[in-house]
Structure 1
Amino acid sequence: MYKSLIASFSFLLMISCAEKKSDKNFVLTGNIKGLKKGTLYIQRVKDTVLVAIDTITINGDSHFASEFDLESPEMLYLFLDRGVTNSLDNNIPFFAEKGKMNIETTLDFFTADAKITGSKNQELYDEYKKVVSRYVDQNLDLAEKKFKAFQNKKEDEVLKIDEEQKGVQKRKYLYTTNFAVNHGDYEVAPYVTLAEIYDINLKYLDTIQKRMSPKVAQSLYGKKLNAYIAERKKQGQ
């Protein structure tokens, strides 16, 4: 019995030693099915350009991991350097927040197949993109129709389609505003405001600003939104 207890204790000790706990507040893991060789870069936007936070070399094993300290929830980017071929499908945006996140995808459809888990902001952003994509598709369809009407010199039809496009844009702005107002407890609210509707009327920006929680107001994007609104008011816009 005693020997059995010692053996069990030794086994548990080995397990605990093997499970190394990270001293960083953000851990990203993932797998890119089909990738045998390449380089991954985790990037962030700094002064309007993407800069690398971490570099991961893939050589045989398609799994990857990275850890670093994250001061505030932030939109980061997982960029794949394929080495041999160039592709537009090489950058996955993900809304990072403190804790553990995971990205599962494939080499063939790197962006389209991406499944991102572990972030509430990412979950909400996915919900937002799903709805907004409908407005984007509608606008593309209208743009195609307008081009054909322009080629056929149908000026009245071009003007009509212009008005339809304005309606689509208005609905997109309204949805984004409501989304930001309804999710003021999450950093995704000021992010989509700055990224999608920065030029909206100030009264709507004021409403979004007032609905941000104190925590979100002190986040990276919360501070940027506050500064942006202050600057617009200063300029009388």
Structure 2
Amino acid sequence: MKKILIAAFAFSALVACNKKENDKNLHITGKVEGLKQGELYIQHIVDTSLVTLDSITIDGNSNFKSDIQIPEAEMLYLSLNRGTSNSLDNILPFFAEPGNMTIETTLKEFYAKAKITGSKNNDLYNDFKKIKMRYNDEKNKTFSLTILARKINSAQKLDSLNQRADKLTMRSYLDAINFAVNNGKHEVAPYIALTEIYDANIKYLDTIQKSMSPEVAKSKYGKQLTEFIAKRKASE
């Protein structure tokens, strides 16, 4: 009887362990080329703080893997502890979703050289970042010309550059709105609305909210967008 009870207990523990492992629906494999010693963290934002979901010790092998549970698509962050380094290039955001994902990057250019596959939301987010980057380049050029115009005290040039900056901002907002509306079947749409154009005219946010699929509307960022719009309407 004692042997039977021990066997039954061991079987129950094995089943519980397997169930716990099966609950992990996001499987990440990756490599940080050049990293021999350090710590990697998979994190997400809770309220306004980064909370660690998993930690990975790198000791001689730059490859890593992580198995975690996420209830739905969500922006996560791969953070690198470089030890005594003063580098600010330590956080890599990526739009995760249940399934298999791969992250490959380098120690030298942790953010800039990152290649992430396995998530449609992340692919779309990268497409949006390319659009955003074009506008940022134009805005930076305009800002540099504005500084020069101030130095030479050219009021006419300043007025022209200010108008140009306003038009760039408006165009960037409209492109972000169109991007979110066209991708309403993915969680990236409400995320962009909440993080990039939260101060846009409420009618545009309404349009994004109405374009969301029923599944996305029920998601974390879908619910947050609906709540945010309701609060803005109540305060305006």
**2:62 aligned partner, one-letter code:** S
Residues 84-131 of structure 1, C-alpha deviation per residue, up to 9 Å, x if partnerless? 212121111000101111100111111111000000000001111111
Equivalent residue number for residue 44 of structure 1: 44
Provide the rounded CA distance (Å) in 1 between the counterparts of 2:88 and 2:74: 23
Q: Secondary structure at the match of 2:102?
A: strand
Equivalent residue number for residue 7 of structure 2: none
Provide the rounded CA distance (Å) in 2 between the counterparts of 1:186 and 1:126: 13
Equivalent residue number for residue 199 of structure 2: 199
The TM-score, its normalising length taken from structure 2, stands at: 0.89
Equivalent residue number for residue 142 of structure 1: 142
Equivalent residue number for residue 30 of structure 1: 30
**2:154 aligned partner, one-letter code:** K
- 1:49: how far off? 2.2
**49-58 or 177-186, which deviates more:** 49-58
Alignment of 1:207-218 (within 5 A): 207-218=207-218
Equivalent residue number for residue 10 of structure 2: none
Q: Secondary structure at the match of 1:89?
A: coil
- 1:53: how far off? 1.6
**1:38 aligned partner, one-letter code:** G
Provide the rounded CA distance (Å) in 2 between the counterparts of 1:42 and 1:69: 11
Alignment of 1:1-237 (within 5 A): 22-23=21-22, 24-236=24-236
Structure 2: state its 5+ residue gaps: 1-17
Equivalent residue number for residue 9 of structure 1: none
**2:46 aligned partner, one-letter code:** K
Give the 4+ runs in structure 1 shifted more than 3 A.
none
Structure 1: state its 5+ residue gaps: 1-19
Give the count of matched residue pairs.
Answer: 217
Provide the rounded CA distance (Å) in 1 between the counterparts of 2:203 and 2:131: 24
Provide the rounded CA distance (Å) in 1 between the counterparts of 2:192 and 2:53: 23
Provide the rounded CA distance (Å) in 2 between the counterparts of 1:231 and 1:183: 24
Residues 5-39 of structure 1, C-alpha deviation per residue, up to 9 Å, x if partnerless? xxxxxxxxxxxxxxx99411111110011110011
The TM-score, its normalising length taken from structure 1, stands at: 0.89
Provide the rounded CA distance (Å) in 2 between the counterparts of 1:89 and 1:191: 23
- What is the root-mean-square deviation of aligned Cα atoms in Å? 1.3
**1:46 aligned partner, one-letter code:** V
Q: Secondary structure at the match of 1:100?
A: strand
User: Share of identical aligned residues, percent?
Assistant: 51
Residues 66-98 of structure 1, C-alpha deviation per residue, up to 9 Å, x if partnerless? 111101211111111111212121111000101
Provide the rounded CA distance (Å) in 2 between the counterparts of 1:170 and 1:86: 37
Q: Secondary structure at the match of 1:185?
A: coil
